[in-house]
Structure 1
């Protein structure tokens, strides 16, 4: 280790814990209210001080190294001890810190979840989020196991058995094709016309995969799957490289190397909602739900 690594770590304990919670630099930066490059530079500086890497590449994203996984619990304990110390000297009327556990589909982690965290914390800095991201199925499993308070996922209409659902918004589904593809200039295409197209899609259990399977079933054709992935960034990269086409949520900014082509099928859309167990009474959880409604009602998340 370099000289005084503890002094180097102390100002950045929250950043280290945030990375440990989400293993995602962009979301961690949003949670902390700082630019993503600031987090990346700080990580590099800490790695030099500690003498060990904290993050390593994982596909198109990153994951914590073994050294970081060892260090994060100690950083969390240090923050907890400091928090307890501050609470001990504050007035009796101080509101206790409240934790809200949010499970969300990976595709919602770039815009909606960071905006939700910022908005909630601006109103009540005492709220602490514990985040988990993954496939729709795993999010709902976490909810039913009471490991999450809210599951933010797609395809909640009709509501899954035993869950309370709050609809939030809909996303139109489009066909992503590589630039130069024969369909790139088409006004619209039907799912039935995609029967012979190599399709790149998410794995079974992901919300988008369920929507894709339903679209093809409704059209009476079977997809010709060329690749099954775990995140939309991988799919768009493979489409741009010419491996195949993909059905994906429409976005305001078209991924590089791709063209968004409208789908003419009436069912080419998916619902996004918040699922909870029916016995939720936590004021903090209900406040987060209210913020979700406000954010999505404003129209900024419908794309």
Structure 2
């Protein structure tokens, strides 16, 4: 069994058409057919069955597809680790991040790291909280910034970089816009603008409101930080957002007001797979991030 046979098999399985797979791989259709036939002969099973002009996986073919993808991913990661070991200062780091950390934290950290390690490159992947957790576990990415940091996942190694407050964002025309601080219960009758259900910032906001004695009336939802802030600017409602999302500026036509009670906070940090060793360049970046925020904390 050869690696190219697995690659050909996966390509055909996902496209359900040999000629389409051949075109994508820039090889002859006969070459793919020949290699898949050899693979089926070695395994002693039929992986595909013909349906009209197309083909589809047999039941055993679907099982083999799962394991083939895992095998290819493991081999690619092994090659990546060898390349990293041979030349760690010219490696490539795959990092995930959520939208709430994309404006200030991510560019600040990477810019500072590039000053020290200009030859290490990055592949950045934005995603939801749950996606980033799974991507780290599956080695799709090596590291991910998250907020809040998971504390009870046995497959994740977590390191808290800092803890921040969550503040209220109000339209500038709001009756409470002149307040220096406010109780979250003061907003019980207001429409809220939040991330959709399933987003961790949605969970944080709803749990905070329940702690304050009410369930928020969600008038609108946005899937990114700019949308949330824009809707508040337009007077659609109020929102609860982490302070790090306001480092550069508070959006026009809005005011940010600290919440006096209850205390609403989130941890922010970096996660890695617990039982898998990081590549050399990933280790360099991981240790740099911890030092970077440790220095920031001392000076604050």
TM-score (norm 2): 0.64
- Quick one: structure 1 residues 159 and 265, their matched pair in 2 at CA, closer, same or farther if it must change by over 3 Å? farther
Asked if the contact 1:153/1:207 (under 8 Å) is kept, the reply is no
How many residue pairs align between the two structures?
Answer: 211
Moved more, 210-219 or 178-187: 210-219
2:261 partner SS: coil
Say which of 288, 291, 295 aligns to 1:291.
Answer: 288
- Quick one: structure 1 residues 296 and 159, their matched pair in 2 at CA, closer, same or farther if it must change by over 3 Å? farther
2:182 partner SS: coil
TM-score (norm 1): 0.64
2:177 partner SS: coil
1:296 partner SS: helix
| 1:124-163 mapped onto 2 (5 Å cutoff) | 124-156=117-149, 158-163=151-156
Say which of 263, 273, 289 aligns to 1:267.
Answer: 263
- Quick one: structure 1 residues 266 and 299, their matched pair in 2 at CA, closer, same or farther if it must change by over 3 Å? farther
Asked if the contact 1:200/1:244 (under 8 Å) is kept, the reply is yes
Q: What are the Cα deviations for residues 94-151 of structure 1, in whole angstroms up to 9, with x where unaligned?
A: 6563121100011211222122222222222332211101221221121122111112
- Quick one: structure 1 residues 290 and 244, their matched pair in 2 at CA, closer, same or farther if it must change by over 3 Å? same
CA drift at 1:255 = 1.4
CA drift at 1:211 = 1.4
CA drift at 1:274 = 0.6
| 1:97-246 mapped onto 2 (5 Å cutoff) | 97-156=90-149, 158-246=151-239
Two-structure CA RMSD over aligned residues (Å): 2.4
* Structure of higher CA gyration radius: 2
Q: 2: distance between equivalents of 1:299 and 1:218?
A: 32
- Quick one: structure 1 residues 225 and 161, their matched pair in 2 at CA, closer, same or farther if it must change by over 3 Å? farther
Asked if the contact 1:172/1:249 (under 8 Å) is kept, the reply is yes
- Quick one: structure 1 residues 265 and 159, their matched pair in 2 at CA, closer, same or farther if it must change by over 3 Å? farther
* Structure 2 unaligned regions, length at least 5: 1-82
| 1:9-48 mapped onto 2 (5 Å cutoff) | none
- Quick one: structure 1 residues 125 and 190, their matched pair in 2 at CA, closer, same or farther if it must change by over 3 Å? same
* Structure 1 unaligned regions, length at least 5: 1-86, 88-92
Instruction: Please state if 1:276 is matched with 2:275.
Output: no
